[in-house]
């Protein structure tokens, strides 16, 4: 007797189209409005009006196409498989003489058609309207194909993902939520894990790993690249593989799912503990990072773990059981917390020797040494370099024996003396970040990033800073080559008033460049890391108006000062005592930090605090030579210029830099 169970049902197929066809129509109208209509509105009409060209078709409609990618497929998947989330519909559909796999595939085909057809139609219309636009080379046939291809791929990834994750819940709203959470989960979980590890391992380069890998795990961020790039940094074949995986997961789960799973929070019994403890783990990590960062103590971080885990566990159990009566499940929370703390203790004792690992000198090929890892994770193909013309500067790796040994010696001391990220020794003005990245002879890389007390490591820093190679990296101007294309040098004073002068004589330009290099080479460690502001800024410009080099005339550059005096430019390009009406100095109450409103707050502090007013030119000069832009300094300095005596420029003194005559008068 022939089987009455069908592998295809035309009636159900038609019914599916009718029930979700409106989504396809709405999506078609949205795409037509976002692309062809926007092109016609923006690039037709007045031929003399030249709007800015677009980089990619995804840029049209302010990127709202990306919103469509991550909403329309979700709605479509939820409505297509809505019948498995309600008991009556699930019983009815699964009682029909149609195989489960047939139901699944029919709905999948409907979904693909509704997502692909509007894109294909829109792509065709975009090609047709091209001839009607004022700008003939706005986009090519390849651009249209790239737009259509990426749109279809992302649509299908989101659609198949929603279908797959929907098989594990019996509630439609959770189906949509699971999709967004699980798309964020890989990158988000890695970020949380890395953010916690920085509190355990001294030297852990969190920014390096976040910039290098974590963000690449979030599909939403990949899609935003389409706004500025013609192609993604990640291969589209990765997404094709994801589509296949999601399809397979959805297919297998649909076949094994029980009809009774409708209206249940989690459809499969084995998934329930994964859900509960997954939510608990993420909440625990969030709590630890939040309280550890905000309060800065290990005790608060532990409190964050306990509170975060408790909130996560309660939320997960409430969702799972759909009731607040979950007290009887308290043992699971206690056990999970015990496991978490056991893992935390294992990580904290550094069983892997992460903190103490320093490569041997004979293994090192070169070493990167900067105040952060941003240069070694910077993407030279990013928009700021490809679109805006900014020059990409590759990271500098030290190779000289003198420099490598000095950096290695500092690293050894840092590894021997680990400091907690919450320690007060590395906070405040003396706190500094240092990143060290080794290129090893075996082809591997070792990266560390430390927060340290700069003052405590002055002797070791000094050894590094006084090497020839470090000075060349610290001052890129020392590595500048031929300056023959420089036709103009502009010198602009630092400060609230602007004093300028230009140098156009080729011999003078060449001489100034050499004098600057001499001053840079002669700088001491203390002068290199002084917080004193410069006298002025010096720009070397080419005949095409491009800025070739930008350097500062530091107050320690005696050779530059002498040369400018000989040329009669010294008084024209720096603030002089004669430019100043008066200088008011007061003790900084509560170590106020300089901010944008300092000039407004300073007069009220003058009224309430003991002050000293300086009008003597010699004393003004002494102040100008030592004042700095340091934040949280011990003394506030208000400089009132004759040009605008009502608005003071606020700078500061530290206890080490304040002139004796000021300290003596204020402490009387």
**CA quadruple 286, 290, 293, 296: dihedral sign:** negative
* 452-475 exposure pattern, b = at least 16 Cβ within 10 A, e = fewer: bbeeebeebbebbbebebbbbbbb
Question: What is the predicted pLDDT for the residue at 464?
Answer: 95
Q: Which residues pair with 532 in a beta bridge?
A: 628
pLDDT digits (tens, 9 = 90+) for 537-564: 999 998 777 778 899 999 999 999 999 9
Give the Cα separation of 594 and 637 in Å (integer).
11
Give the Cα separation of 31 and 38 in Å (integer).
10
Neighbours of 615 (CB within 10 A): 11
User: What band does 571 get if pLDDT is binned at 50, 70 and 90?
Assistant: very high
Per the structure block, which two tokens stand in for 61?
């409609």
| Alpha helix (H) residue ranges in 530-572 | 558-566
Give the Cα separation of 357 and 436 in Å (integer).
13
Cβ(266)–Cβ(274) under 8 Å?
Answer: no
Per the structure block, which two tokens stand in for 651?
């700078």
Does residue 3 carry a pLDDT above 50?
Answer: no
Cβ(502)–Cβ(461) under 8 Å?
Answer: no
Give the Cα separation of 302 and 295 in Å (integer).
11
pTM comes to 0.76
Give the Cα separation of 576 and 571 in Å (integer).
7
Which residue, chain included where needed, has tokens 């970020």?
Answer: 191
Name, in order, each residue with C-beta under 8 angstroms of 643's C-beta and a sequence gap of 6 or more.
496, 497, 579
pLDDT digits (tens, 9 = 90+) for 371-396: 888 888 887 666 656 665 556 778 88
User: What band does 252 get if pLDDT is binned at 50, 70 and 90?
Assistant: very high
- Nearest Cα neighbor of 532 from 623, 630, 465, 639 is 630
Question: What is the predicted pLDDT for the residue at 46?
Answer: 63
Give the Cα separation of 392 and 381 in Å (integer).
9
Which residue, chain included where needed, has tokens 């969030």?
Answer: 286
| Alpha helix (H) residue ranges in 596-657 | 598-608, 617-626
Does residue 2 carry a pLDDT above 60?
Answer: no
Name, in order, each residue with C-beta under 8 angstroms of 349's C-beta and a sequence gap of 6 or more.
none
Cβ(654)–Cβ(604) under 8 Å?
Answer: no
**CA quadruple 160, 164, 167, 168: dihedral sign:** negative
Which residue, chain included where needed, has tokens 């003597």?
Answer: 616
Q: Which residues pair with 7 in a beta bridge?
A: none
- Nearest Cα neighbor of 291 from 442, 477, 435, 421 is 421
Degrees to nearest 5, angle at CA 136 with 133 and 139: 95
Give the Cα separation of 84 and 348 in Å (integer).
47
> What average pLDDT is seen over the chain?
86
Neighbours of 14 (CB within 10 A): 12
pLDDT digits (tens, 9 = 90+) for 602-654: 888 888 888 899 999 999 999 999 998 776 678 889 999 999 888 889 888 88
Give the Cα separation of 119 and 17 in Å (integer).
17
Strand order in 364-370's β-sheet?
Answer: 397-398, 364-370, 431-440, 445-453
Phi and psi (nearest 5°) for 299? -60, -45
Q: Which residues pair with 552 in a beta bridge?
A: 537
Give the Cα separation of 225 and 205 in Å (integer).
25
pLDDT digits (tens, 9 = 90+) for 282-292: 999 999 999 98
User: What band does 349 get if pLDDT is binned at 50, 70 and 90?
Assistant: confident
In Å, what is the CA distance from 150 to each residue of 37, 77, 144?
A: 20, 19, 10
Give the Cα separation of 376 and 243 in Å (integer).
33
DSSP state of 357: -
Q: Which residues pair with 376 in a beta bridge?
A: none
Give the Cα separation of 150 and 667 in Å (integer).
70
Give the Cα separation of 239 and 422 in Å (integer).
41
Q: Which residues pair with 580 in a beta bridge?
A: 641
**CA quadruple 418, 419, 425, 426: dihedral sign:** positive
The pairing of strands 611-614 and 580-587 is antiparallel
pLDDT digits (tens, 9 = 90+) for 122-173: 999 999 988 787 777 788 888 899 999 999 999 999 999 999 998 998 888 8
Quote the strand ranges of 479-604, DSSP E: 486-493, 500-503, 536-542, 547-553, 580-587
In a 3-state reduction of DSSP, which class is residue 449? Answer: strand
Give the Cα separation of 305 and 337 in Å (integer).
9
Name, in order, each residue with C-beta under 8 angstroms of 197's C-beta and a sequence gap of 6 or more.
204, 206, 347
Name, in order, each residue with C-beta under 8 angstroms of 495's C-beta and a sequence gap of 6 or more.
533, 575, 639, 641, 649
Per the structure block, which two tokens stand in for 514?
């050499």
The pairing of strands 445-453 and 500-503 is unpaired
Give the Cα separation of 615 and 312 in Å (integer).
64
Give the Cα separation of 477 and 514 in Å (integer).
10
Give the Cα separation of 476 and 460 in Å (integer).
22
- Nearest Cα neighbor of 443 from 380, 379, 359 is 359
Q: Per-residue pLDDT averaged across 581-602, rounded?
A: 74
Q: Which of 44-48, 66-70, 500-504 has the highest mean pLDDT?
A: 500-504
Give 485 or 217, the one with higher predicted confidence.
485
């Amino acid at each position: 007797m022939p089987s009455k169970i069908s592998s295809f049902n035309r009636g159900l197929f038609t019914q599916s189209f009718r029930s979700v066809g409106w989504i396809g129509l709405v999506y078609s109208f949205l795409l037509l409005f976002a692309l062809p209509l926007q092109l016609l509105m923006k690039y037709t009409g007045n031929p003399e009006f030249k709007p800015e060209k677009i980089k990619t078709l995804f840029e049209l409609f302010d990127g709202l196409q990306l919103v469509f990618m991550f909403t329309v497929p979700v709605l479509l998947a939820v409505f297509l498989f809505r019948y498995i989330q309600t008991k009556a519909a699930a019983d009815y559909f699964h009682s029909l003489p149609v195989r489960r796999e047939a139901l699944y595939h029919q709905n999948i085909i409907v979904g693909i058609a509704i997502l692909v057809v509007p894109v294909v139609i829109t792509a065709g219309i975009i090609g047709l309207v091209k001839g009607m636009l004022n700008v003939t080379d706005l986009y090519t046939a390849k651009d249209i194909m790239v737009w259509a291809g990426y749109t279809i791929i992302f649509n299908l990834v989101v659609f198949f993902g929603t279908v797959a994750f929907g098989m594990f819940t019996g509630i439609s709203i959770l189906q949509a939520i699971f999709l967004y959470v699980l798309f964020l989960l890989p990158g988000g979980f890695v970020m949380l894990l890395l953010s916690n590890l920085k509190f355990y391992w001294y030297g852990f380069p969190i920014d390096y790993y976040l910039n290098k890998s974590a963000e690449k795990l979030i599909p939403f961020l990949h899609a935003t690249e389409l706004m500025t790039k013609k192609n993604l940094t990640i291969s589209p074949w990765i997404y094709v593989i994801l589509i296949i995986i999601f399809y397979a997961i959805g297919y297998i789960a649909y076949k094994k799912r029980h009809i009774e799973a409708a209206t249940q929070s989690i459809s499969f019994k084995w998934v329930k503990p994964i859900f509960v403890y997954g939510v608990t783990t993420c909440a625990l990590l969030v709590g630890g990072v939040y309280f550890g960062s905000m309060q800065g103590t290990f005790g608060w971080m532990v409190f964050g773990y306990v509170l975060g885990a408790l909130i996560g566990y309660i939320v997960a159990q409430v969702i799972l059981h759909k009731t607040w009566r979950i007290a009887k499940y308290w043992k699971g929370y206690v056990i999970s917390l015990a496991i978490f703390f056991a893992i935390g203790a294992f990580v904290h004792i550094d069983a892997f020797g992460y903190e103490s690992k320093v490569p041997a000198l004979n293994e090192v090929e070169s070493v990167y040494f900067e105040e952060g890892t941003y240069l070694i994770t910077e993407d030279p193909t990013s928009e700021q370099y490809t679109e805006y013309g900014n020059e990409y500067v590759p990271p500098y790796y030290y190779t000289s024996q003198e420099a490598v040994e000095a950096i290695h010696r500092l690293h050894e001391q840092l590894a021997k003396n680990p400091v907690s990220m919450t320690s007060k020794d590395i906070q405040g003005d003396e706190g500094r970040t240092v990143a060290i990245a080794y290129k090893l002879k075996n082809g591997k890389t070792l990266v560390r990033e430390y927060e340290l007390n700069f003052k405590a490591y002055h002797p070791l820093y000094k050894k590094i800073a006084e090497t020839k190679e470090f000075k060349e990296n610290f001052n890129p101007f020392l590595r500048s080559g031929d300056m023959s294309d420089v036709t103009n040098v502009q010198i602009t004073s630092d400060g609230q008033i602007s004093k300028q002068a230009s140098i156009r004589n080729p011999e003078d330009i060449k001489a100034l460049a050499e004098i600057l290099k001499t001053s840079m080479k002669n700088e001491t460690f203390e002068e290199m890391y002084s917080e004193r502001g410069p006298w002025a800024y010096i720009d070397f410009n080419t005949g095409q108006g491009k800025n070739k080099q930008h350097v500062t005339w530091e107050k320690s550059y005696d050779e530059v000062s002498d040369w400018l005096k000989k040329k009669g430019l010294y008084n024209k390009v720096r603030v002089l005592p004669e430019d100043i009406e008066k200088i008011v100095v007061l003790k900084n109450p509560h170590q106020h930090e300089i901010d944008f409103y300092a000039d407004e707050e300073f007069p009220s502090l003058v009224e309430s605090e003991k002050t000293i007013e300086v009008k003597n030119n010699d004393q003004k000069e002494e102040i100008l030579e030592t004042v700095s832009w340091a934040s949280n300094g011990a003394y506030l300095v208000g400089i009132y210029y004759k040009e605008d005596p009502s608005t003071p420029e606020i700078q500061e003194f530290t206890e080490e830099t304040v002139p004796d005559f000021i300290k003596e008068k204020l402490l009387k």
